[in-house]
Amino acid sequence: MKKAFRFLSFLIIFLIGFTAFAQDIKWDKNGDTFYAVVKNEIFQHSLPNTVGEKLISSAQLSPKGQAPLSITDFAFSADGQKVLIYTNTKSVWRLQTQGDYWVYELATGKLSQVGEELPESSLRFAKFSPDASKVAFVSEFNLYVQDLTSGQISMLTADGTRKLINGTFDWAYEEEFACRDGFQWSPDGTRISFWQIDANQIRDYYMINTTDSIYSQIIPVEYPKVGESPSPARIGIIELASKKLTWLNIPGDPQQHYLPRMEWNSPEFLLVQQLNRKQNHSKILGVNVTTNVANLIFEEQDETWIDVLSSWENTYGLTYRHEFKWINGGKEFLWFSEKDGWRHLYRIDLSGKVTPVTHGNYDVINLLHFNEKENSLYFHASPENATQKYLYKAKLDGKGTAERVTPTDLPGTHSYVISPSGKYGMHQFSNSFTRPASEWISLPKHQPLDPSQSIASKLPANQGAKNVEFFKVNTADGTEMDGWMVKPKNFDPTKKYPVLFMVYTEPWGANVKDSYGVGRNRNYEGDMAADGYIYISIDNRGTPAPKGRAWRKSIYRKIGRLNISDQAEAAKQISKWPFVDPTRMAVWGHSGGGSATLNLLFQYPGLFQTGISLAAVANQLTYDNIYQERYMGLPQENLEDFVAGSPITHAKNLQGNLLYIHGTGDDNVHYANAEMLINELIKHGKLFQFMPYPNRSHGIGEGEGTIAHLRMVYTNFLKTYCPPGGR
């Protein structure tokens, strides 16, 4: 069995992907043991050994007379003696954050359900108290706690509704701040802090289901559009012994700021981040919960916006949570800032003193690990090439310069998960021609624990043809943009080929990365290169590449203009390449890429003859306030920027061929965008093709046959109006 698990422990990484695996493993407090689910059983794996053993079997997780629980997630109590099993889940917006919870006791083998008397699959974010005697959770917008000895359930809040949300968040907070889990135990277990979101003043957007009944069904979503005040948020403290509730005295108008972070520092003290509505003024407040007095610890302002989180983080991870990284016995925390022009780490003490930790002309992509005893920290960065990613090490006291740890013989994208002790790490590598491979390594020497399972040993089998070419395009003002290109198979430089551009262009995503899978088109039925297309993508200014603050923030108040002019200028240059057919140039994108596709067709008519736009924001005034106001300001102050950057403003200029696709059940980019744009195109006599997908959400993936149908529609349109092959 141990040999079998040795194989499975590595195989599972390939099967479910490095990011998912990294999220699913749970580290033991000793720092060198982790736990992971393999075939619906929990295994324990102690490094540096590469052999694991079964800790909890499916049989042990089988309620009496029932099939084994299907494990979606699990968590250990602080003493390591109990395990909380998350199962029977269903989605709330993007993720499966609602379900059932069971407690398994390792010593006795007892398995019991939490909140059994509450509706099935209604529990969210259950977590043990520090002493493991209780479990707190949210159900139907209210907060509960259950005593595990007596089984008694106490309701801590009773006013929760769809519009008054306790212990979790509304649509906008979840989507744009990755805020989902909305409560925390105090370190001594005597209190619980939680968010309450008041969406009563937020108007509903009504999605309409017309397929599941002979009468239409209305699905309301509380959704604050750009220009609308935020849902007021406040933080409450519940004393468990007395059930006394105190609302924190946080200064300012709750309708004009956000509270995206909150965390306990001690049983009497917690930190709260407050962000103004424009998201360009961040404050860290320290709150004494006994006196209910909040004091300013640190603040930062920016001319554009301040990132609460980065798109480099796994913000769609099931267990993702904003955390303060505490050091010096809780007297300091680590914090990211771009105040010197690059994304760097700083130490901030509770008096507000700021000490730089990393420095130089590069971005710290994300923090992986820090060790105070060894005065060290590990992070991802790529100072030389923004399309790649490597492991770096620096000193926690800020002295000296960062050193690259990743070997130099494997250019591409490297990702790491580092054990709490800092002695070991899970390392994944891929590039455009190398399939992902993973290995366990020792640090800081970066040596594989098992040479037979090392990345180096797998390279011959994992490397394929180098069919992706990376290139650079310079704009007229000297800005350098990265791009990639896949040429047709049997490429003949004497012929001219059609080009398809894939675009996203907004601050939430970059396309040009030296990683496996780049250059593939998920919507194309067949092999684009074999059919004779050139496939290209370029990252314009404003995309979240590790190129410094000026690169990323240059798009402020210019979405729909700067990103579009950058892409158009690059396309004009590429149209002059000797092997490119300028009469067969097409562009496509999804979401923000769909918006960019429309803007490129409308603002630069004739440059592209064909466009395919999916789930596009046609009118920036229809999108949510947190995202759009972060990057564009307030429409009450600069409405002209929203209008100028919206595709609907320029729809009258359409030339060529447009395929427009949208899901009618899209809770993110609402279907109203489609009908608004269609009306505008009709008004100006523009011919186009439209493909609505009933009740499909933003990803347009639900429903039998949907993905296959979308690929057929997409591919047929592209081949019809931008024929493949060299001429």
Q: Which residues contact 638 (CB under 8 A, 6 or more apart)?
A: 557, 632
pLDDT at 12: 38
Residue 371: is it exposed, middle or buried by C-beta count within 10 angstroms (0-12/13-18/19+)? Answer: middle
C-alpha–C-alpha distance, residues 129 and 145, integer Å: 9
Residue 182 in contact with residue 195, Cβ under 8 Å? yes
SS3 at position 720: helix
Q: Within 17-84, where are the H helices?
A: 18-24
Amino acid at 482: D
CA distances from 652 to 371, 596, 635, 674, 685 (A): 59, 16, 23, 15, 8
Q: How far is CA 330 from CA 57, 269, 418, in A?
A: 38, 11, 22
CA distance 418 to 396: 16
Which residues are CB-neighbours of 23 under 8 A, at least 6 positions away? 314, 317, 318, 319
What is the DSSP secondary-structure string of 308-349?
A: SS-TTS-TT-TT-----EEEGGGTEEEEEE-TTSS-EEEEEE
Measured CA angle at 550 (ends 332, 548), to 5 deg: 55
Spatial distance between the Cα atoms of 182 and 246, rounded to a whole number of angstroms = 16
- Please state at what angle helix 635-644 crosses helix 625-632, rounded to 10 degrees: 80
Mean pLDDT in consecutive groups of 10 residues from the start of the chain, 727 residues: 33 41 72 90 90 92 94 94 96 91 97 96 97 97 97 97 96 93 97 97 94 95 95 97 96 94 96 97 97 97 92 71 90 96 97 96 96 96 97 97 96 96 96 96 96 95 96 94 97 98 95 97 97 98 97 98 98 98 98 98 98 98 98 98 98 98 97 98 98 97 96 98 97
Residues 6+ apart with CB under 8 A from 162: 141, 199, 220, 222
Closest by CA position to 676, among listed 717, 617, 605, 604: 617
Q: Which pLDDT score, from 0 to 100, does residue 17 have?
A: 45
For Cα atoms 445, 450, 456, give the angle at the middle one, nearest 5 degrees: 75
For residue 438 the two structure tokens come to 């993973």
The two tokens of residue 243 are: 């059930």
Q: From CA 279, how far away is CA 43, in angstroms rounded? A: 43
Within its chain, how far is the Cα of 169 from the centroid?
16
At 1 the pLDDT is 32
pLDDT the model gives residue 94: 84
Those residues whose C-beta lies under 8 Å from the C-beta of residue 282, and which sit 6 or more positions away, are: 273, 274, 275, 299, 300, 301, 306, 308
Q: Report DSSP state, residue 69.
A: P
d(CA 443, CA 423): 5
Contacts of 177 (CB under 8 A, 6+ apart): 169, 258, 260, 308, 309, 322, 626
**How many Cα atoms occupy the beta-carbon half-sphere of 68 within 13 Å?**
13
Other CB atoms within 10 A of residue 581 CB: 19
Q: In what order do the strands lie in the sheet with 269-276?
A: 257-266, 269-276, 281-288, 293-301
Distance CA 139, CA 123 (A): 5
- For residue 345, give both structure tokens: 């780490």
Sheet (strand 344-349) strand order:
325-327, 332-337, 344-349, 354-356
Number of Cβ within 10 Å of residue 578's Cβ equals 8
Phi and psi based region of residue 19 (left: phi greater than 0; alpha: psi -120 to 50; beta: remaining): alpha
Classify residue 167 as left (phi > 0), alpha (psi -120 to 50) or beta: left
Q: Residue 598 has what pLDDT? A: 98
pLDDT of residue 23: 54
pLDDT at 24: 65
| 0.85 exceeded by pTM | yes
pLDDT at 318: 72
pLDDT for the residue 627: 97
Give residue 370's pLDDT: 95
**Residue 513 to residue 468: CA distance in whole angstroms:** 11
